[in-house]
A and B are shown apart, each in its own frame.
Chain A
Amino acid sequence: MVNEKELQDAVEKTVKRDDVKYVVGYEKGTYGFQAKPSFAYKPEDAKKFIFSPICVHNLSVFPMLEEKPPLRKGEEPDSRKLGVVVKGCDSRAIVQILQEKGLERDKVVIIGIPCEGVIDPKKIEAKFPGQVDNADVKDDGDNFIVTIDGKAHKVKKDELTPDKCKTCEYPTPVLYDILIGKEIKSKKKEDYKDVKTFEKKSMKEKWDYWEKQFEKCIRCYACRNACPLCYCKECMVDQLDPQWVRRSVDLSENTAWNLLRAFHLAGRCIGCGQCERVCPMGLPLMELNKKLEKDILELYEYVAGIDAEEKPLLAMFKPDDPEEFIL
């Protein structure tokens, strides 16, 4: 269990620093099992911060969303640091962005929280539908204790956690400035069981499955906008000259979009599952990303988002690479 007071103190101390603009963390949502991002600009804002198994979102997308408005004459740009509260998986996104030089290390203050599993919003909505008042969820070893209307329900963790928690190898943030609590070592291993099962299907079965999924896609680009690693200033699909992917919404363009995005994330996706959570039509996007993650591991023995000093996989060249030339 995470000590919320310790978290709030750490956030307060960070916000009090002169060189920190704000700290983003979680606060209670507006209904049911929701947690929403909270921005602490002043020390008193730190009291709103919580951490419980409902804090499922990846907040490392926010440092990349900072806009730089045009400056008045003589005005200096605001170069203060940003604080982010991250779980184990979220911290890997920041590390990957640091590897790619999307952010500078001294521009983020990472407040890490060792995480023992969070709750998938869709699964808990299916189990306890129709919750209007905020419900309380606590972590209890192998179970979650969900308190609704005063009554406590004990639910096994495996029933409510998203798939990523079941094979989580990095419960403790891999990089942090402040750690809330003690480091946790993982006993789980990513074995890509679902990917291997799918790989065994015939080509026709695979295409039929994905065609049915891509037909649902409405090209809202929520997956791209919510992903911490999709931060290109101009995405390839917004380009008109040349136009890589058309704007009409049909099976061919939807397939192109989803596959292109998965490939652009190969070797960079850290498996936080934000894209799948955000998708309003319920496309199983993590299945695509996991397959590419497995391929990258087998081909290059590389795991994304672990070491900030390492060079990004597809942007580096070593003399002992198996290929003779960079192409």
Chain B
Amino acid sequence: MMENPYEPWLATVEDIREEVGGQRPIKTFKLKFKDKKITDNFSYIPGQCAMVSLLGMGECFFAISSSPTKKGFIEVSVMKLGKVTTALHELEPGDTVGVRGPYGNNFDVSGWKGKNLIFIGGGIGQAPLRSLIQYVVDKRKDYGKIDIIYGARTSKDISYKEEFAELEKRKDVNVHLSIDVKEDGWDKFVGFVPDNLLKVKPSPKNSIAITCGPPIMIKFVIQNLEKLGFSEDQIFTTLEMRMKCGIGKCGRCNIGNLYVCKDGPVFSYKELKNIYGER
């Protein structure tokens, strides 16, 4: 019998960490496959995604937000927004979910060796970037300068607070956090992420910029990157779409003739400019 790409593998929820509370809470789930053979064979590269399903509720497509250098588990960050994500937020450690993957294309981790990397993230958009950040930090010698620019609405909305604190302590990584509105006790940049980017002013020489966040933020970040001298094939982003199958068959996530689940979600700005379609 042919292998069935629609059938998920069962995984246990090992740990749940609340990143952000409030109206749109974000939780990070640490998942471990029940079958050890699958854990050993599940190999992915940062940027790829997985379909996580709660049996009886449905499936959602999430970026795998942990790096493959951390073996034995995968992590996904989930924002509570619709039917399935609300049900996922009710889970407890020990519960079972289904996982399918890895799907999509990946960041070019081998082609970017030796280059300076600038990560620009906003809100929950940090999730796919975190996988790549963990990867390059674990393989620090292979890459050049690392700048991480991340912003959220308020200091309570910052995801991965402990990890950012650890990264800020490191001397070989530059972290530039920001929040949208002034707050007591916040001594770092106040303003939108695209403006923070202009303040940091990274050099386009031998650099790759990767951005992910709300569509409006991506639009202005790309504008500012071009102002700073970055060319189209130095700018990468990850896109999201409503997805059902995750393997390029159900037809819904297409932008032009490319499917975001199969040919994406990582796209270079050069690719995006050249395809016709709504995004």
Contact = CB atoms under 8 A, between A and B. Distances in A.
Do the two chains touch directly in the complex (Cβ atoms below 8 Å apart)?
yes
B141 interface: no
A240 interface: yes
A165 B11 CA distance: 63
A241 interface: yes
3 contacts: A240-B58, A240-B83, A241-B83
Contacts of A240: 58, 83
Interface of B: 58, 83
A56 to B, nearest CB: 33
Contacts of A241: 83
Interface range for A: under 10
Interface in A239-271: 240-241
Interface string A106-146: 00000000000000000000000000000000000000000
A241 B84 CA distance: 10
A240 B58 CA distance: 10
Contacts of B58: 240
A72 to B, nearest CB: 13
A255 to B, nearest CB: 24
A176 to B, nearest CB: 39
A221 B228 CA distance: 51
B92 to A, nearest CB: 21
A241 B82 CA distance: 9
A199 B83 CA distance: 43
Closest 3 CB pairs of A and B: A241-B83, A240-B83, A240-B58
A240 B83 CA distance: 8
A313 to B, nearest CB: 34
Nearest to B86: A241
A245 to B, nearest CB: 16
Interface in A149-186: none
Contacts of B83: 240-241
Nearest to A242: B83
Nearest to A243: B83
B244 to A, nearest CB: 12
A241 B56 CA distance: 13
A241 B87 CA distance: 11
A240 B57 CA distance: 10
A234 to B, nearest CB: 13
B20 to A, nearest CB: 23
A241 B58 CA distance: 12
Interface string A209-252: 00000000000000000000000000000001100000000000
B243 to A, nearest CB: 15
A52 B83 CA distance: 50
B116 to A, nearest CB: 36
A240 B82 CA distance: 10
